[in-house]
Amino acid sequence: MSKLTPLQSSEFKSKVLEAAKPVMVDFSATWCGPCKMLDPVLEELAADYGETFDFYSVDVDQNSDLAMTYGVMGVPTVMLFKDGEMVERLTGYRPRKRLEALFFGK
């Protein structure tokens, strides 16, 4: 079972913007090759950091309003939200070490 919970537009405010802890959101699409490559990396991060961060995935085809709101022009786009604000953003596939450095300061 995936450690990244699928998220719908209707849940975004309560689960991301009003979350008590930092939230990582993966904007992706089922047809996207780089998204499929990134999935196992994000699963590992969710397994390792799931105690201190929430992890969600947003299908941009099913939630195009969210993609437009956050200016997602390419997938995968991973965003980190803290206290209701987007604080980091990365588009395209990146290896785990790059994601950890940017999002978790490792």
Query: Is residue 38 among the annotated active site residues?
Result: no
| Active-site residue, from 35, 42, 79, 99 | 35
CA-to-CA dists, residue 48 to 36, 44, 53, 94, 104, angstroms = 19, 6, 10, 17, 11
Task: Give percent of the chain with pLDDT exceeding 90.
Answer: 92
Q: What is the CATH number of the domain that holds 54?
A: 3.40.30.10
Query: Is residue 35 among the annotated active site residues?
Result: yes
| Active-site residue, from 4, 32, 67, 80 | 32
Overall domain count for the chain: 1
Range of the domain at 37: 5-104
In tens, the pLDDT along 87-106 reads: 999 999 999 999 999 898 87
